[in-house]
Structure 1
Amino acid sequence: MSGLTFVDVCSGAGGLALGLEQAGFEPRLLLDDDELAVGTLRANRPGWNVLHTDLMEFDPAEYPVSHDVDLLSAGLPRVKSSASVGRADSRVEERLLEATIFLVHAIRPRAVLIENVPGLAHSAAYQPFRDFARAELAHLGYEFSWFVVNAVDFGVPQNRKQGVLVAIERKWAAAFRPPAPTVPQPTTVGAVLGPSMAARGWRDAACWAAQADRPAPTLVGGSKNRGGADLGPTGAKNTWATMGVNGHTVGDEVPDADFVWDPTLGRDHMVKITPTQAALLQGFPETWEITGRKTARYRQIGHATPPPVGKALGRAVAAALILEPPAPPAG
């Protein structure tokens, strides 16, 4: 254990917080404005201090545990680029990013970790966000690392790229390195979901697993304002179809012994991924309980940071923070 502490905002289903815990960090406070996500956090970690509140209404002065921490972390809702400013929800997501940066002023952690869309790290469309973060934090003594990670490099059976900001106080910043891949080759959908597909006696489970011989496309949680859950945009659905999976919906349970799997007959003869299986594709442990009905569970899972990614990021931050900073030059 590193003995390091963190505050996590927009915690969702707890993927980032769980990964940080696995990296040796101790949570002081987690918060989210979604009642079901808060229920998920409390169901799995009754000892965690979980607050049901909107980040933009959070006053850290009322919560002493939010001070004197090593890390402020945030797996924020996907921020839209400047090209989508006209969309109704774009400003809400932008304000959450701003609120996280402003929270640094109040908490003054030794490090900040924000995970979001890949473009946030390098794309010109997100330059205003990077300029904002630098303008607010550089004068407080933070130095910045912007980079992209892919969950598949950390044992998650999913191609899922994430843009990451790590800002560390200057005396520790030089020691930080982005995490290196932890697996030599990608984990496949079939390898992870094969056992669960066979759980109710489906005779074609092994054959299906052999066909599902690649990582999944990125799972997308979707918006509360749209209809039922599915496995992503058209390109993702097409990729799922090559694995004999109906990506247009999410299943209630895995196939039984009588299920006829024949993708040539159409979607009704393709398997459906259940929310529990989607959680495995995100790298959650089987014991992690996601609360709510099917669609709400899937959305929590799809929005989550995969815990193995959170663990790798946490270890990278911890490796910098546990080092003694160099002494200033004599004289």
Structure 2
Amino acid sequence: MRGTGTDTSAPSARRPVAVDLFAGAGGLSLGLEQAGFDVVASVEYDPVHATTHAFNFPLTEVLCDDIGKLPESTLRRSVERGWANHHGDEPWDGEVDLVAGGPPCQGFSWIGKRQVDDARNDLIFHFFRLVNSLRPRYFLMENVPGIASGEHKELLADLIRRFENAGYVVPSPHILNAADYGVPQDRRRFILLGYRADVDPVAHPAPVVRPARPVRSTLRSNVEPLPAGPTVWDAIGDLPDLDQFPALATSDVTPLTRAQQNKMDLAASEYARRLRGLEDDPTDFAYRRKWDPSVLTSSWQTQHTDVSISRFAATEQGSTEKVSRFLRLAEEGLCNTLRAGTGGERGAHTSPRPLHPRNARVLSVREAARLHSFPDWFRLHSTKWNGFRQIGNAVPPIFGRALGRAVIEALGVQPAKPDEVLELTDEHLLYMAMGEATKYAGASHDSIPKSRRRSKPEPRLAEAV
């Protein structure tokens, strides 16, 4: 339904409707849900990530498809089905309040080669195409800061012109740091937030993303004064030592005794207590999930050589281990930017994973998820490779919540927490290899690169370094 030139966005009792493009495992989707949106549809190209997304968001219609080939009519039907999942037979007025997404950023990234002619750069224009087809009141695009610099600035200017010619107002973009919004990670991101020109600027002013606190981000507490807010140890200090669980040598899950849970409860910071569901978060308006806190998840051990362990142990907090180039996190500092590495179609390279501040090993997936602000009920794929890729590609949910909250405020909506509790049931979705996930998600093999059509063994982290 296209905008008619007259604002029809009067506030209603229903939760606003959002669609997430390039959704990954669901960091931005969760943040928008926490802000007060119903994310009715998500699109993700990678079948493994799409099945993980489907596990965590049972009401969302998850499309596993190539954005560059996705018909607009297919996306519209997916939104309609997602509305029905959330609201049953209640009629939908056809209006989408927000379309959001983070097109793959490798072509713009400062890490590695930045290429203007990288085919992935075209995805920002397919983002525009699908936004323009749904005609939402607001749109939100997240990317790496490199999209706003060098030769890529012309691509960005072209994108903004297309939005403006299509009837959208696009204020100046911003480079924001997730650490300013309560995430214990130094993660700078480009944010483009626009709104349809017929949206009443008096009733619904332009969105403003407000920092949770003033901050000057730093990785080492002995370099600059740290801002008030969660630190690395606030995020992971209550999690148990993985070496105490033999089962985690061959699995990503293990049961916890009551005594172990009590020990975690006593050690948990306010930040950790909220992620574990022990303390209410008044700014979180997501659906509650039914989950089992007596099971530690996403915690498969990484086996290091004795030589590596010795080097890791000798590395001071806040310093980089000289051979592996892994940063050993400082307890009272922020985590460095967690990165995804590359998929199987580009060599299946892992990205350097930070070292635990106290234990001589790299972080577990669950520890990285905590540093990214994922709650403990949120599950990542069982393999370390896919789990870390899903985190590195994701918008930290708490940061996504701040972005969504800006749009919620502009819409004039007072969010409320739903009464419904969602069950997370089919854990097999978290253990699917590429072939099975492709079949389950209904994805076309033609849309999956040849190198990813068969399951590959999990790439090993550089352990013998």
Deviation at 1:23, TM superposition (A): 0.7
Counterpart for residue 411 of structure 2: 321
Greater mean deviation of Cα atoms: 106-115 or 183-192? 183-192
Alpha-carbon contact 2:175-2:191 (below 8 Å) kept = yes
Q: CA RMSD in A?
A: 2.9
> Which of 334, 340, 365 pairs up with 1:221?
340
> Which of 41, 57, 64 pairs up with 1:29?
41
Alpha-carbon contact 1:282-1:301 (below 8 Å) kept = yes
Alpha-carbon contact 2:44-2:50 (below 8 Å) kept = yes
Counterpart for residue 273 of structure 1: 363
Deviation at 1:45, TM superposition (A): 1.6
Alpha-carbon contact 1:156-1:187 (below 8 Å) kept = yes
In structure 2, the CA distance between the partners of 1:2 and 1:281, relative to structure 1 (3 Å rule), is farther
Alpha-carbon contact 1:186-1:215 (below 8 Å) kept = no
Counterpart for residue 96 of structure 1: 123
User: Do residues 126 (structure 1) and 118 (structure 2) align?
Assistant: no
Deviation at 1:111, TM superposition (A): 0.9
Counterpart-to-counterpart distance in 2, 1:308 and 1:2: 22
Counterpart for residue 56 of structure 2: 44
Counterpart for residue 195 of structure 1: 238
Greater mean deviation of Cα atoms: 222-231 or 148-157? 222-231
Counterpart for residue 250 of structure 1: none
Counterpart for residue 328 of structure 1: none
TM-score by length of 2: 0.56
How many equivalent residue pairs?
A: 286
SS at match of 1:163: strand
In structure 2, the CA distance between the partners of 1:131 and 1:319, relative to structure 1 (3 Å rule), is same
Gaps of 5+ in 1: 233-239, 246-260, 262-269, 324-331
User: Do residues 178 (structure 1) and 190 (structure 2) align?
Assistant: no
In structure 2, the CA distance between the partners of 1:104 and 1:210, relative to structure 1 (3 Å rule), is closer
TM-score by length of 1: 0.78
Counterpart for residue 114 of structure 1: 141
State the one-letter code of the partner of 2:341.
G
Deviation at 1:194, TM superposition (A): 1.0
SS at match of 2:119: helix
Deviations 1:224-269 (A, max 9, x none): 123453436xxxxxxx56x747xxxxxxxxxxxxxxx5xxxxxxxx
1:149-188 equivalences in 2 (<5 Å): 149-172=176-199, 174=201, 175-183=205-213, 185-188=228-231
Alpha-carbon contact 1:173-1:320 (below 8 Å) kept = no
Deviations 1:307-326 (A, max 9, x none): 01111000101211238xxx
Gaps of 5+ in 2: 1-12, 80-93, 215-227, 246-263, 268-315, 318-327, 414-465
Counterpart for residue 254 of structure 1: none
State the one-letter code of the partner of 2:165.
H
SS at match of 1:56: coil
Alpha-carbon contact 2:141-2:191 (below 8 Å) kept = yes
- Identity over the aligned pairs, expressed in percent? 29
Counterpart-to-counterpart distance in 1, 2:200 and 2:347: 42
SS at match of 2:151: helix
User: Do residues 303 (structure 1) and 381 (structure 2) align?
Assistant: no
Greater mean deviation of Cα atoms: 283-292 or 71-80? 71-80
Counterpart for residue 294 of structure 1: 384
In structure 2, the CA distance between the partners of 1:306 and 1:218, relative to structure 1 (3 Å rule), is same
SS at match of 1:149: strand
State the one-letter code of the partner of 2:51.
G
SS at match of 1:115: strand
Counterpart-to-counterpart distance in 2, 1:195 and 1:165: 36
Counterpart-to-counterpart distance in 2, 1:55 and 1:29: 13
Greater mean deviation of Cα atoms: 288-297 or 215-224? 288-297
Alpha-carbon contact 1:113-1:167 (below 8 Å) kept = yes
> Which of 58, 73, 77 pairs up with 1:64?
77
Deviation at 1:22, TM superposition (A): 0.7
Alpha-carbon contact 2:40-2:59 (below 8 Å) kept = no
